[in-house]
Amino acid sequence: MPVTWRDATHRDLARIEELWAEQEARFLDTETKVDRPVLFYGEEDKTRAFYPYRPPVMNVAVAEKDGRIVGFRYTEAIPEVSIVTGDEDVMRSLGDELTREAHKFKQLGFRSGWGLIPAKFVQGMRYFLRRHPHIRPWKSLTPVGIDFSELGD
């Protein structure tokens, strides 16, 4: 049976909540938390940027099969950290600095941040961030994404 994707609306929220609950049940035996960001502005916020989606959510779409919503996806803007240094003191300062920055972005509605680390530097990053257990390589997640450079960009 084919799936049809369409932009989500406020009317879809009840079914989206049901799907989130089902996902939480599937993820119970993993270390992965099922996020539930605020997807939409209220109807009274029609003049806001990105309306109807509430940043950091940039898009929400539902998948329908036989007229029933069977899935959804949302896209968020996520702060991506890039570090450029060869200085050991800078590396030592990263735990406090990244924590400060994470609190700043959390106040703005962001729930996650990330950076890609070449495999050969992971152990070094673990060492420099050892006193900051909330900043770490993900154990239960594998990043996937689009490398736009491979698409001719």
Spatial separation of the C-alpha atoms in residues 148 and 2, rounded to whole Å: 28
DSSP state letter for 110: -
Query: Do the beta carbons of residue 34 and residue 24 sit within 8 Å?
Result: yes
Element (H, E) at 61: strand 57-65
Spatial separation of the C-alpha atoms in residues 99 and 153, rounded to whole Å: 32
Residue 153's pLDDT is: 60
Spatial separation of the C-alpha atoms in residues 26 and 20, rounded to whole Å: 10
Q: What is the tens place of the pLDDT at every residue in 62-108? A: 999 999 999 999 999 988 888 888 889 999 999 999 999 988 988 88
Nearest to 22, CA basis, from 72, 76, 74: 72
